[in-house]
């Protein structure tokens, strides 16, 4: 009944040669076709535009047949979320393969994020905007690993940038609680040897880059007349500077943070 049971069913063979049966091939094929059509609908009109009826129509199928492949609309969207996460991670990993200077490598990763988002705005929205139960919170067991890939790729490009300064103090790490939490996170990560400073930088990258991209996609920067590309590059430059310089300006706790 549950989504799991439907996917389990496919792989009954355990130890034999993994040659899928004829039927399973067909099943996998239509499964992919459904997802592909859904992705087209998302690209065209956003997640809301995904219509099971529409998919069935273009596949010359009865609408009810879709439910042999997905328990419901949300299950389909959950699958797409994972797929999109992976597609983004592919892009970032490709851009982040070691080459050139650390600065150029990191810049390439950052630009890859924005480029991909601009090329697939609705896919970006699908994964980064959850509307209170729209197939996002579903299946976190699959989305979290998929999302982690991007973060790992980002951190990998960030580490060489910090270089020797990696172990130094860092802006934003004055709060020991934050440092502790980041240490705990590092232990669970695929990169447990990274110093907390690099992980913190990774978080700041993530939030800042997403901040610009997200507002750009929502056309919230157009009214200023500022070119988002320049704003984005300015943030990237700032992050590079922050990574390379352990503690910009000797200062006490930046502000009396307690409101």
Partner DNA sequence: TAGAAAAGTTAATACCAATCACAGTATGGA
Partner DNA sequence: TCCATACTGTGATTGGTATTAACTTTTCTA
Using CB under 7 A as the criterion, which residues of the chain lie in contact with DNA when the complex forms? Answer: 9, 12, 21-24, 26-27, 30, 50-54, 57, 60-65, 67-69, 71-74
Residue 52 interface partner, choices DNA, its own copies, none, CB cut-off 5-8 Å depending on type: DNA
CB closer to its own copies, 69 vs 199: 199
Contact 134, 47 (CB under 8 A): yes
CB closer to DNA, 8 vs 175: 8
CB closer to DNA, 26 vs 247: 26
Residue 97 interface partner, choices its own copies, DNA, none, CB cut-off 5-8 Å depending on type: none
- List the alpha helices (DSSP H) in the chain: 3-8, 22-45, 52-58, 73-95, 102-119, 121-128, 140-162, 176-188, 196-217, 228-244
Long-range contacts made by residues 58-65, C-beta under 8 angstroms, separation at least 24?
59/30, 59/33, 59/34
Q: What is the C-alpha to C-alpha distance for residues 220 and 86, in angstroms, rounded to an integer?
A: 27
Residue with tokens 């440092």: 179
Minimum CB distance to its own copies, residue 133 (Å) = 7
Q: What is the C-alpha to C-alpha distance for residues 159 and 156, in angstroms, rounded to an integer?
A: 6
CA distance from start to end of the chain: 51
Residue with tokens 């439910």: 67
Minimum CB distance to its own copies, residue 115 (Å) = 10
CB closer to DNA, 49 vs 186: 49
Distance of CA 144 to the CA centre of its chain: 9
Residue 60 interface partner, choices its own copies, DNA, none, CB cut-off 5-8 Å depending on type: DNA
Residue 160 interface partner, choices its own copies, DNA, none, CB cut-off 5-8 Å depending on type: none
Residue 71 interface partner, choices DNA, its own copies, none, CB cut-off 5-8 Å depending on type: DNA
CB closer to DNA, 113 vs 138: 138
CB closer to DNA, 136 vs 242: 136
Contact 73, 51 (CB under 8 A): no
Minimum CB distance to DNA, residue 142 (Å) = 19
Q: What is the C-alpha to C-alpha distance for residues 179 and 228, in angstroms, rounded to an integer?
A: 32
Residue 50 interface partner, choices its own copies, DNA, none, CB cut-off 5-8 Å depending on type: DNA
Q: What is the C-alpha to C-alpha distance for residues 232 and 249, in angstroms, rounded to an integer?
A: 24
Minimum CB distance to DNA, residue 1 (Å) = 9
Minimum CB distance to its own copies, residue 181 (Å) = 5
Minimum CB distance to its own copies, residue 58 (Å) = 20
């Amino acid at each position: 009944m549950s989504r799991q049971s439907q996917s389990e069913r496919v792989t009954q063979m355990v130890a034999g040669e993994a040659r899928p049966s004829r039927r399973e091939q067909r099943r996998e094929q239509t499964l992919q076709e459904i997802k592909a059509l859904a992705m087209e609908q998302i690209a065209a009109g956003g997640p809301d535009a995904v219509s099971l009826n529409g998919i069935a129509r273009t596949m010359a199928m009865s609408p009810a047949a879709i439910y042999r492949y997905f328990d419901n609309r949300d299950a389909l969207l959950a699958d797409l979320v994972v797929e999109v996460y992976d597609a983004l991670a592919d892009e970032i990993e490709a851009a982040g393969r070691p080459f050139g200077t650390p600065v150029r490598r990191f810049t390439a990763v950052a630009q890859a994020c924005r480029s991909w988002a601009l090329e697939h705005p609705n896919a970006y929205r699908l994964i980064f905007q959850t509307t209170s139960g729209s197939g996002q919170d579903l299946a976190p067991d699959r989305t979290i690993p998929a999302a982690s890939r991007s973060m790992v790729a980002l951190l990998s490009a960030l580490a060489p940038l910090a270089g020797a300064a990696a172990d130094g103090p860092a802006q934003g790490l004055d709060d020991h609680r934050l440092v502790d939490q980041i240490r705990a996170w590092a232990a669970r990560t695929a990169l447990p040897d990274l110093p907390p400073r690099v992980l913190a930088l990774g978080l700041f990258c993530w939030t800042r880059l997403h901040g610009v991209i997200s507002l750009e996609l929502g056309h919230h920067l157009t009214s200023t007349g500022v070119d988002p590309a320049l704003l984005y590059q300015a943030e990237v430059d700032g992050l590079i500077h922050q990574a390379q310089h352990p503690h910009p300006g000797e200062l006490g706790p930046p502000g009396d943070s307690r409101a």
